[in-house]
Structure 1
Amino acid sequence: MSKEYIVIPMGDPSGIGPEISVKSLAKEKVYEKANPVLVGDKKIIEKAAQIVKAQVEINVIDNLEDGDYRPGVINMFDLDNIDMSTFEYGKVQAQCGQAAYDYIKEANRLCTEGGAAAMTTTTINKEALKAAGINTLGHTDILSDLTGVKDPLTMFQVKGLRVFFYSKHVPLRKACDLITKEGIKKYVHLMIDALGTLGEDHPHVAVAGLNPHCGEHGLFGDEEVKYITPAVEELQAEGVDVSGPIGADSVFFQALHGKYDGVLSLYHDQGHIATKTVDLNRTVSVTHNLPYLRTSVDHGTAFDIAGKGIASEVSLDEAVNVAAEYASAFAKKQRN
């Protein structure tokens, strides 16, 4: 099996991103399925390696094919953009916000022009980005701006459970108001397309109910009656293999155990609770509709423990593993 390149921007230098990057890339297992490459500042990575006591060689490269992809070697693109005389761990700093943005921008270039199939992002800090004058304050917004993709689709994966989100960062009241028949149909088709890029050629998906017991025929809310059920019925008439609405108290459990290849969560916390209850540390975010595959850790910069060497790399391990798992299928679909 050919191994694809996975690019990892190291995140805000003042946070735990550099430490978990070194810990993760020091492991032999990560090189079994992929060729991982770090984008960051060599000085910060050297410091992180000292902090976590990792015996690694840092190999600065200019092209992906120049890397030495074997355990014990961290191949990286060194942007050399941190002034160590003013650098501090655990602090909001404009230079760190700018640096984190620059790492993402370079990683995006490597994915769109340099031959990488996937990007695995670590952690950035919104306040640091703002201090640097950057108005796109999250990974998804930044990547949307850099690629011109206006409607990226978010999927969470943990073990066998894959959850897509109809809406994300909106108030719950607004999330309910956003439910429409055409919206449900649109997102189910997006799910089907996304799962296809991951190698699921004939996925069976489900739509979660919005209200308790899916509204009990209008007794506890009428969104299922007015919008969700009609959308599912029309999709089924089109030949789409979709079920629903199915009560949110059971559909995620069923998908975890293999009944469905994906579930459409109708608001932010509905899907977040379902996945993170299965395993908080191994829940991975996957962004679809970009020109490349993107996975991400699902935690923050943890300024309170940055520089102490105690941050867990488990989430990054899993995010790189998911990227490696899907990268070949994704790259094959894109190249065809």
Structure 2
Amino acid sequence: MPNKPIIGVTMGDPASIGPEIAVKALLDQNIHAICKPLVVGDAKVFQHIIDKLGLQARIHAIQDVKDAKFTFGEIDVFDLQNVDLAQLQFGEISAMAGEASFRAVEKVIQLALANEIDGTVTGPINKKSINEAGHHFAGHTEIYAHYTNTKKYAMLLSEDFLRVIHVSTHVSLRQACDNVKKDRILEVTELLQNGLKQLGIENLKIGIAGLNPHAGDSGLFGTEEAEEILPAVEEALRLGYDVEGPVPADTMFSKAATGYYGGVVAMYHDQGHIPFKLSGFKWNAEKKQMDSVKGVNITMGLPIIRTSVDHGTAFEIAGKGVASPDAMVLAIEHAVQLAKYKLAEKSAVPS
């Protein structure tokens, strides 16, 4: 693949599975075939996980993107030098780990805004750790929005046929209900269609979920469908979008999982996340661990590319060598696809 994009991958929380899945993903030759991967974090942490797990990789610590080698088996780390290994404990919340994970995100955003890299992929962070470090954000999405000065953005989840965007995410359920407004639904519908196009999805049919059981059942169980969701659907149709709704959520996702919809709009965090993770996360009851964790989180509306694994820090298995890199591999692949689209779009604009 000529002109392979440079993809910055953050360390995630150093006490989590983040460093492990980053190393494992970068030891996949297919990743090097499609991009030039660069890890952002503390080089000592990556060397520690390599030594602890006996992974066949070398670390190349750098302070400038131009010094990266992008050689398979030798992992380029933009070294922030901000973790004290003597204090680091796998699976534990700490301000030090929160600070290190936050600074990796901050740096990868800076590199992307400066056009030194073509896309960013984030490893899992612990929200309590970053807040203990003094950074009061609800998650990655809000950090990116703040540092890129983005006002209109949304979380898009992608795995196989299932692509889900959210009207709201990290707010209380009570507040999420209040956030179901016509203008916001239209906004995320537009972001979803843009995302589908950027991912190369040909099916642009969009399902828009109801908020209440049975999509309100003609007003018996709530009025949000009639007052906010249906008017948004009608306006979207008028604007030329291929939308359907409000669709009862308990039937919409079963259709979406088979490819009936190119993507769907969920009204709040768990309405979208539960079916999504049921599809992509495979729990092994005998081993009492995940066999596979698939799913990519994309932040739509940003001026830069950001994808992420859609799982947490998995503190309970950190440092044990059993973490699956599947989601990280998928997140990098999605970032590459988005970077290719952005490059093609830029090339199509007359100079």
Indicate how the Cα distance of structure 1 residues 116 and 206 shifts in structure 2: closer, same or farther if over 3 A, else same: same
Report what 1:316 is aligned to.
328
Are 2:79 and 1:78 aligned?
yes
Aligned partner of 1:38 in structure 2 is 39
Match of 2:233 in 1: 232
Unmatched runs of 5 consecutive residues or more in structure 2: 282-292
Is residue 294 from structure 1 mapped to residue 306 from structure 2 by the alignment?
A: yes
From the superposition, tell whether residues 298 and 310 of structure 1 become closer, same or farther in structure 2 (CA, over 3 Å). Answer: same
Determine the C-alpha separation between the residues in 1 that align with 2:224 and 2:16.
42
Change (3 A) 1:304 1:168: same
- State the Cα distance separating 1:117 from its structure 2 match: 2.0
Q: Which moved more, 1:105-114 or 1:247-256?
A: 247-256
| Aligned-pair CA distance for 1:271 | 0.8
Change (3 A) 1:229 1:86: closer
For structure 1, list consecutive stretches of 5 or more residues without a partner in the other structure.
Answer: none
Do the aligned partners of residues 305 and 240 (structure 1) sit closer, same or farther apart at CA in structure 2, a change above 3 Å counting? Answer: closer
Query: Aligned partner of 2:49: which letter?
Result: A
Q: TM-score, normalised by structure 1?
A: 0.91
Partner of 2:129: 128
Cα RMSD of the aligned pairs, angstroms, is 2.2
How many angstroms does 1:65 deviate by?
4.5
CA distance in 2, matches of 1:231, 1:104: 35
1:257-276 equivalence runs, <5 A: 257-276=258-277
Q: Is the 8 A contact 1:117 1:331 kept in 2?
A: no
* C-alpha deviation, 1:106, in angstroms: 1.2
Letter paired with 2:279: V
Match of 2:210 in 1: 209
User: Partner of 1:29: helix, strand, or coil?
Assistant: helix
- Alignment partner, residue 160 of structure 1: 161
Q: Given the superposition, is the C-alpha separation of residues 167 and 63 from structure 1 closer, same or farther in structure 2, using an over 3 Å criterion?
A: same
CA contact under 8 A between 2:165 and 2:266: conserved in structure 1? yes
Aligned residue for 2:158, secondary structure, equals strand
Letter of the structure 1 residue corresponding to residue 32 of structure 2: Y
- 1:196–1:202 CA contact under 8 A, matched in 2: no
Q: Kindly indicate whether the alpha-carbon contact (under 8 Å) linking 1:6 and 1:36 is maintained by their aligned counterparts in 2.
A: yes
Question: 8 Å contact 1:5–1:64 — kept in the other structure?
Answer: no
Distance 1:38 1:177, change over 3 A: same
| 2:138–2:170 contact (8 Å) kept in structure 1 | no
CA pair 94-218 structure 1, distance change in 2 beyond 3 A: closer
Letter matched to residue 96 of structure 1: A
Identity of aligned residues (%): 38
Contact 1:8 1:119 in 2 (8 A): yes
CA contact (8 A) 2:255 2:261 kept: yes
- What is the identity, as a one-letter code, of the residue corresponding to 2:319? G
Between the aligned partners of 2:118 and 2:189, the Cα distance in structure 1 is: 25
CA 1:274–1:66: 2 relative to 1, 3 Å: same
Deviation at 1:195, TM superposition (A): 3.2
What is the CA distance between 1:200 and its match in structure 2? 5.2
SS of alignment partner, residue 316 of structure 2: coil
**Structure 1 Cα separation of the partners of residues 148 and 241 of structure 2:** 29
Contact 1:161 1:262 in 2 (8 A): yes
Query: Is the alpha carbon distance of 1:152 and 1:227 closer, same or farther for their aligned partners in structure 2, counting shifts above 3 Å?
Result: closer
**Alpha-carbon deviations, 1:155-203, whole Å to 9, x = none?**
0111121100011123333323332333322322232333344345883
1:334 & 1:208 partners in 2: Cα distance? 34
Deviates further, 184-193 or 275-284: 184-193
Do the aligned residues in 1 keep the contact of 2:157 with 2:298 (CA within 8 Å)?
yes
Report the residue type matching 2:163 in the other structure.
R
| 3-state DSSP of counterpart to 2:250 | coil
The TM-score with structure 2 as length reference comes to: 0.88
CA shift, 1:254, in A, is 2.3
The answer for the alignment partner of 1:183 in structure 2 is: 184
Q: Find the counterpart in structure 1 of residue 288 from structure 2.
A: none
The residue type equivalent to 1:208 in the other structure is: A
Report the equivalent of 2:253. 252
Of stretches 66-75 and 291-300 in structure 1, the one that deviates more from structure 2 is 66-75
**Aligned partners of 2:158, 2:247: CA distance in 1, in Å?**
19
CA distance in 2, matches of 1:202, 1:277: 23
With 60-69 and 156-165 compared, the bigger mean Cα shift is at 60-69
- Rounded Cα–Cα distance in structure 2 between residues aligned with 1:77 and 1:6: 12
How far is 1:286 from its partner?
0.8
